[in-house]
Every structure is written in structure tokens, then in C-alpha cells.
Copies of this chain bind each other. A is one copy, B any other.
């Protein structure tokens, strides 16, 4: 850390800073410039807080030199972390595509969508059972019933499942049904929740908050990592800026920045990032070109009937088209799109049979 003194700082003020630093176990090295004296703090700074010095008389500002995160940092962990979820590997050579509806709305809807996205080549199924909604009067998700449907869809398709957990109390329940725990953007700094998922051994996808700085996202990952869970993925999903042409500003720059700063896999969420299904295909391609390790996409068989986020969901046909383009762009940057686990033949057989089963149970055609 570097403490910059005001131009008119007195000898005593400079002395006080040096003494205070010493009392916290730091060594100091003062440098007298033309206008300012600058004091470098060296050694073990774990107990040193910038605010302490910012509050001292004669101090103009403090400047941090070291990154405040350790476990998330690539400096201390140069090789990339690869997270294996039932054979699907995040952070390796392959790019993983996760797809599914914003919310689980019914058994049929999620199974039908799971089959469709698997056929198109997605290797993880997404779907929300607990939904954080801006309005207390909006649909808040099916809860445990939704989790059960997700687990059923996994059984049918073999796709591992990702779903959001919003509270500490719900972690055990959600972890019982899903393969990857998602922490939503609004909870990025819900530290109690971060600590609690840090104590599980389930992979976690942590979304960047709407006003989350990249460094803060890494600090939030640090909360999970420092509790012992090393399987953390970071997800860019759009930040809040002045621009209103898109719902959020999907900050694609975060992808190479995170990959340079950290060893953790990086996921891109262009649906929430832009809030506009027409922008999802170009921004998905761009995310892969920029180096994303995974995409999470919204696919709904009938977006106009979706109970949430229909405006940013792709229809299955469009999603299938996008998968083709993604394969080409992945190849252009020397990667490939991960394929669903299970031999394709078996999967196809099972796909063909499932609709019938489902039809019998529910009386709904899955054509």
C-alpha cells in the first residue's frame, strides 16, 4: 500500500502515519517527492486497512498495490481451474452451453425444453425454481416442486442441472436436486449466503451484480473459496449503465479481464446481459470469441407464454441455429463446444421414448 500525504503535510503528520503503520506490523519507506511525501507500506499488510490512513490528518489518499483477493488470484494459482460436473468440464478446452427456461413452469415445459436443448447440443440444463423478482406481486417460482421437475428432466435427458439458491435455509434443499448452485446477481454480496455455499462441496456459479466491480466479484468468490469450496465459476450477466437501448450493458470485456486475473472458469449470460432475444445470438458468438468457458442461455418452447423473461428467451429452433454458429466460432478460436454426456444413440433413443411417457402422464403433446 502507498500512503500519499497532502502537499502541506507536517513532519508530525508524516511521523504519525509511520508510527501507525508500524503498530500494525508494517514496515515503511517514505519517499519525498517535489510536492508530496509518499509512504510505502511493506511486509505483512493483512491487518492494515486503507480507511485507517484515509482518516488520518495530513493524508491525501491511499493507493492499494496488491490485489485484495488471494485464493481467486491467478498470480498465486497460475494453472486454470477445471470443474467437472458429471463429465462436463468447465474451464478446459471445451466451451459448455447451458440452456433452458428462465423459470420452471411445469413438468412438461421443463422436460420438453430439456429434450430440445439436448438435441441442439446443450450439455447442462438450466431452470429457476426460486425466482428473485422485482415485484412482490410477480410469479416467484414453483419452489421445491420446480426442483423435482428439474431432477426429472435430468433423469430423462442425462443433462446435469443448474438452479439458483436464494437463501441459506434453502441450500440443502436445492443441493439435493441440482448439480450446480447458482448465486444470482442480486445476491452477489449476500455474504451469509456466500459463506454457506462455501461450506458445501457443490460447484457454484456466482453472478456479477448489476453494479459489481470485477474486483468485487473476485472478492465475493473469495468468500466462497475461503470457506473451502474451490469449485467456483464466475458469470458476467450485464451491468447497469446509463445506456437504455439494452436492458443492461453486457460487459464482454469482463471475460478476458477475469481470465487474466483469475484461474476460475468464466461464464457468459447474454440473455440477462442484454435482455433482448434478438441480441442473444450475436452476443453469444462474441462471448465465445472473447474467451468465455461457458454460456448460459434462455430457451423456452413458447416465449410469449413464459412466466418470466420471455423477451430474452430463444425458441428451440433459433437455439439450434445458434448452436451451429457457436460450433464454427469455437473452432475459429481453437476450442470446441462440449457435447452432452451419454452416447448420442442412447440419448436419441431415450429422447424418442420420453415424449410418449410424458404424453401419457400429462396428456400434452410434446411435438
Q: Flag whether A169 is at the interface (Cβ < 8 A).
A: yes
> Interface segment, A91-99, A109-117, A152-160, A240-248?
A240-248
| Most chain B beta-carbon contacts within 10 A, residue among A168, A227, A257 | A257
Chain B residues whose CB sits within 8 angstroms of the CB of A222 once the complex forms: 135-136
Q: Evaluate contact between A52 and B304: CB separation under 8 angstroms.
A: yes
Chain B residues whose CB sits within 8 angstroms of the CB of A8 once the complex forms: 75
Other-chain residue from B216, B254, B310 in contact with A55 (beta carbon distance below 8 A): B310
Question: How many residues belonging to A are interface residues under a CB distance threshold of 8 Å?
Answer: 110
Question: Distance (Å) between the CB of A124 and the closest chain B CB?
Answer: 22
> Interface segment, A185-193, A199-207, A343-351, A354-362?
A185-193
Q: Evaluate contact between A213 and B260: CB separation under 8 angstroms.
A: no
Kindly state the separation between the CA atoms of A75 and B60 in the bound complex, as whole angstroms.
12
Kindly state the separation between the CA atoms of A44 and B56 in the bound complex, as whole angstroms.
28
Q: Evaluate contact between A253 and B274: CB separation under 8 angstroms.
A: yes
| Most chain B beta-carbon contacts within 10 A, residue among A55, A291, A325 | A55
Q: Flag whether A233 is at the interface (Cβ < 8 A).
A: no
Copies of this protein chain in the complex: 4
Other-chain residue from B244, B278, B307 in contact with A260 (beta carbon distance below 8 A): B278
Question: Distance (Å) between the CB of A261 and the closest chain B CB?
Answer: 8
Chain B residues whose CB sits within 8 angstroms of the CB of A209 once the complex forms: 211
Chain B residues whose CB sits within 8 angstroms of the CB of A252 once the complex forms: 250, 252, 283, 286
Q: Flag whether A2 is at the interface (Cβ < 8 A).
A: yes
Kindly state the separation between the CA atoms of A245 and B60 in the bound complex, as whole angstroms.
12
8 A Cβ contacts from A36-61 to B? 36, 38, 40, 42-44, 46, 49-52, 54-56
Kindly state the separation between the CA atoms of A187 and B75 in the bound complex, as whole angstroms.
31
Chain B residues whose CB sits within 8 angstroms of the CB of A219 once the complex forms: 134-136
Chain B residues whose CB sits within 8 angstroms of the CB of A137 once the complex forms: 46, 226
Q: Flag whether A4 is at the interface (Cβ < 8 A).
A: yes
Other-chain residue from B192, B311, B313 in contact with A166 (beta carbon distance below 8 A): B192
Q: Flag whether A255 is at the interface (Cβ < 8 A).
A: yes
Q: Evaluate contact between A241 and B244: CB separation under 8 angstroms.
A: no
Chain B residues whose CB sits within 8 angstroms of the CB of A50 once the complex forms: 311
Kindly state the separation between the CA atoms of A243 and B258 in the bound complex, as whole angstroms.
13
Question: Distance (Å) between the CB of A187 and the closest chain B CB?
Answer: 7
Other-chain residue from B189, B282, B288 in contact with A256 (beta carbon distance below 8 A): B282
Chain B residues whose CB sits within 8 angstroms of the CB of A311 once the complex forms: 50-51, 54-55
Chain B residues whose CB sits within 8 angstroms of the CB of A65 once the complex forms: 4, 33, 36, 38
Q: Evaluate contact between A215 and B283: CB separation under 8 angstroms.
A: no
Q: Offer 18 A-B interface pairs, CB within 8 angstroms, sorted by A.
A: A31-B40, A31-B42, A55-B303, A55-B304, A136-B191, A136-B226, A168-B169, A214-B245, A252-B252, A252-B286, A255-B282, A256-B283, A257-B279, A282-B291, A283-B290, A285-B289, A285-B290, A329-B329
